[in-house]
Amino acid sequence: MSLQLGVVADDLTGACDVAAGVHALGVDAEVRLGVPDSGAAPEARVVIVALKSRTAPAAEAVRDSVASARVLRSWGARRLYLKYCSTFDSTDEGNIGPVADALLDLAGEDAAAVGTPATPAAARTMHRGHLFVGDRLLSESSLAHHPLTPMRDADLIRVLARQTPRPVAGIPLEILHAGPAAVAGRIAELRAQGVRHVLLDAVEDGDLDAAAAAAAGAPDLILTGAAGFAAALARSLGGAAAPSVEPPPDGARLILSGSGSERTRAQVSAYRGPSHPIDVSALVAEPTAVVAEVMRFVGRAAGTPLVTATAEPEEVARLQARWGRDRTAALVEDALARVAVAAVEECGVRRVLVAGGETSGAVAAALGATVLRVRRIAAPGVAWTTATDPSGRVLDLCFKSGNFGGTDFFDRAWD
Ligand SMILES: Nc1ncnc2c1ncn2[C@@H]1O[C@H](COP(=O)(O)OP(=O)(O)O)[C@@H](O)[C@H]1O
Ligand SMILES: O=C(O)[C@H](O)C(=O)COP(=O)(O)O
């Protein structure tokens, strides 16, 4: 099969979110970690490049996203999709706007970016350009307190307009409900007026299907959004039989949590197995000693050990004020990544569940994973994936978005 949809994702859990949704439709998907080497094209019909660009400097995010898009195009990708968070996680400096603009430059002068973060299956909906998380406006949800990208403005037309000099406009729900031709016609009108970024309202999957059908008639569009719109595009590809589910590899288990999201905080609290909180302040002065202490816990734990840095927003804010946001982020990500490598190399761990997008990117890179294939859906938007590390070990890896999975996920995710 040829590559139908090439996706550039700004974090690993978001990439796996798309892969899980595509897999559930019976469409074969593959996640490539980092900017891929051009080489031979993968066989999968959907290839998702997982970058760690969501909170990187804009120039770095643009560089890696454009490089990834070029490789996907060289593999014959018929459509390009920029995958960002369903809660539009970003700052006013970017990176959704700058990256989308760079992809527009790649696509040509009159190109336009069209899409939506709406993912109704994850209770993310767009109405009059405003993003809702469940019944709450984004700015009234827990995402307003995200440790790296606090989302304090639910008007995404306004948010995106702060990230790009190119004109931004929305398409309201009544046009989505009028069907694909109405959507396509409105997109064409906006483009003729010079609009280069279009955000679509959507409150149900049918709206996303209408958007996907409208996009099918405009192959020059750069498509953007979260896993919901990506799944609608994959639905139009037509799925094969349900993919087979291989058993997980034998080996010990480990849970690593670096997410500060509301759902992960609940999952950490609800976990009934052995857990060990990381002393983040101690990481500043003696990270090696902290990791050694954690490994003593992992080595003697009965059951599946949970190593967690997860903390309430107030505690995270206190540590960020003391040591710096980026410094604490890097210290925690690096510590959890080092624990993952040591657990695989020294404790026979072969199954790792990681909570948090940035955290997952750091852990996957440290483990040397380069390609992930979905093995089994663990929860909506969350998959167990199979990877082979540089030493040839087969690993079973689950990279869970911060706000995904049930409260008992850490106990129930294992098959
Ligand atoms: N206790 C803590 N203090 C400071 N930063 C933390 C703490 N725990 C986690 N972090 C950092 O917060 C960020 C959480 O981001 P991420 O892993 O993407 O989670 P999510 O998926 O919930 O957004 C990471 O950079 C992580 O290292
Ligand atoms: O919510 C989404 O679209 C994705 O699953 C995602 O990007 C989540 O990011 P997180 O950093 O893992 O919360």
pLDDT in tens, 29-46: 999 999 999 988 899 999
Q: Is residue 356 part of a domain?
A: yes
Whether pLDDT at 196 is above 70 = yes
pLDDT in tens, 381-402: 999 999 999 999 999 999 999 9
Q: What is the DSSP letter of 306?
A: E
Q: Is residue 245 part of a domain?
A: no
CB of 242 within 8 A of CB of 271?
A: no
Query: Looking at ligand 2, which residue's alpha carbon is closest to its atom 5?
Result: 14
Do 75 and 105 fall into the same domain? yes
Q: Is residue 357 part of a domain?
A: yes
Q: Is residue 145 part of a domain?
A: yes
Calculate how far, in angstroms, residue 200's C-alpha sits from the geometric centre of ligand 1: 30
Do 187 and 63 fall into the same domain? yes
Locate the ligand 2 atom nearest the alpha carbon of residue 403 and give its number. Answer: 13
Map 240-271 to HEC letters: CCCCCCCCCCCCEEEEEECCCCHHHHHHHHHC
- Residue 388 is predicted with a pLDDT of 96
Locate the ligand 1 atom nearest the alpha carbon of residue 89 and give its number. Answer: 23
Q: Is residue 242 part of a domain?
A: no
- This complex has an ipTM of 0.98
Locate the ligand 2 atom nearest the alpha carbon of residue 381 and give its number. Answer: 5
- Residue 113 is predicted with a pLDDT of 98
Q: How far apart are CA 230 and CA 157, in angstroms?
A: 20
Locate the ligand 1 atom nearest the alpha carbon of residue 333 and give its number. Answer: 27
Provide residues with CB under 6 Å of ligand 2: 11, 13-14, 17, 85-87, 226-227, 261, 356-357, 381, 401-403
Whether pLDDT at 221 is above 80 = yes
Calculate how far, in angstroms, residue 377's C-alpha sits from the geometric centre of ligand 2: 16
Final residue belonging to a domain, choices 204, 237, 270? 237
Calculate how far, in angstroms, residue 332's C-alpha sits from the geometric centre of ligand 1: 7
- Hey, which of 354, 359, 399, 401 would you mutate to test ligand 1's pocket, going by the most ligand atoms within 8 Å of its Cβ? 359
pLDDT in tens, 225-273: 999 999 999 998 777 666 667 889 899 999 999 999 999 999 999 999 9
Locate the ligand 2 atom nearest the alpha carbon of residue 54 and give its number. Answer: 11
Which amino acid is it at 106? Answer: L
Closest ligand to residue 383's CA: 2
Stretch 185-191: mean pLDDT? 98
Closest ligand to residue 327's CA: 1
Closest ligand to residue 278's CA: 1
Locate the ligand 2 atom nearest the alpha carbon of residue 401 and give its number. Answer: 12
- Residue 236 is predicted with a pLDDT of 83
- Residue 399 is predicted with a pLDDT of 98
Query: Looking at ligand 1, which residue's alpha carbon is closest to its atom 24?
Result: 329
Segments forming the whole domain that contains residue 144: 5-237
Final residue belonging to a domain, choices 170, 204, 237? 237
Calculate how far, in angstroms, residue 15's C-alpha sits from the geometric centre of ligand 1: 18
Closest CA to 12 of 357, 381, 387: 357
Locate the ligand 1 atom nearest the alpha carbon of residue 309 and give its number. Answer: 8
Do 182 and 40 fall into the same domain? yes
Per DSSP bridges, beta strands 168-171 and 197-200 are: parallel
Do 162 and 257 fall into the same domain? no
Q: What is the DSSP letter of 140?
A: G
Q: What kind and span of H or E run contains 315?
A: helix 313-323
Q: Is residue 243 part of a domain?
A: no
Stretch 193-212: mean pLDDT? 98
CB of 387 within 8 A of CB of 369?
A: yes
Q: How far apart are CA 15 and CA 150, in angstroms?
A: 21
The b/e string for 396-407 (b: 16+ C-beta within 10 A; e otherwise) is bbbbbbbbbbbe
Query: Looking at ligand 1, which residue's alpha carbon is closest to its atom 11?
Result: 329
Do 382 and 356 fall into the same domain? yes
Calculate how far, in angstroms, residue 219's C-alpha sits from the geometric centre of ligand 2: 27
Closest ligand to residue 261's CA: 1
The model's pTM is: 0.97
Work out the mean pLDDT of the chain and round it to a whole number: 96
Calculate how far, in angstroms, residue 29's C-alpha sits from the geometric centre of ligand 1: 28
CATH code: domain of residue 400: 3.40.980.20
CB of 183 within 8 A of CB of 176?
A: yes
Closest ligand to residue 260's CA: 1
Do 230 and 288 fall into the same domain? no
Do 318 and 396 fall into the same domain? yes
Do 257 and 230 fall into the same domain? no
Locate the ligand 2 atom nearest the alpha carbon of residue 226 and give its number. Answer: 3
pLDDT in tens, 108-142: 888 999 999 999 999 999 999 999 999 999 999 99
Do 272 and 226 fall into the same domain? no
Do 260 and 175 fall into the same domain? no
Q: Is residue 351 part of a domain?
A: yes
Q: How far apart are CA 359 and CA 352, in angstroms?
A: 12
Provide residues with CB under 6 Å of ligand 1: 13, 147-148, 258-261, 264, 280, 309-311, 316, 319-320, 328-329, 332-333, 356-359, 401-402
CATH code: domain of residue 58: 3.40.50.10840
Q: How far apart are CA 381 and CA 405, in angstroms?
A: 8
Count of the separate structural domains present in the chain: 2
Calculate how far, in angstroms, residue 378's C-alpha sits from the geometric centre of ligand 2: 15
Do 218 and 365 fall into the same domain? no
- Residue 243 is predicted with a pLDDT of 66
Do 157 and 261 fall into the same domain? no
Cα distance between the two ends of the chain: 30
- Residue 109 is predicted with a pLDDT of 82
Final residue belonging to a domain, choices 178, 212, 237? 237
Whether pLDDT at 73 is above 80 = yes
Number of other residues whose CB lies within 10 A of the CB of residue 54: 25
CB of 374 within 8 A of CB of 242?
A: no
Whether pLDDT at 1 is above 90 = no
Per-residue pLDDT band for 199 (boundaries 50, 70, 90) equals very high
Q: Is residue 329 part of a domain?
A: yes
Q: What is the DSSP letter of 349?
A: E
pLDDT in tens, 75-90: 999 999 999 999 999 9
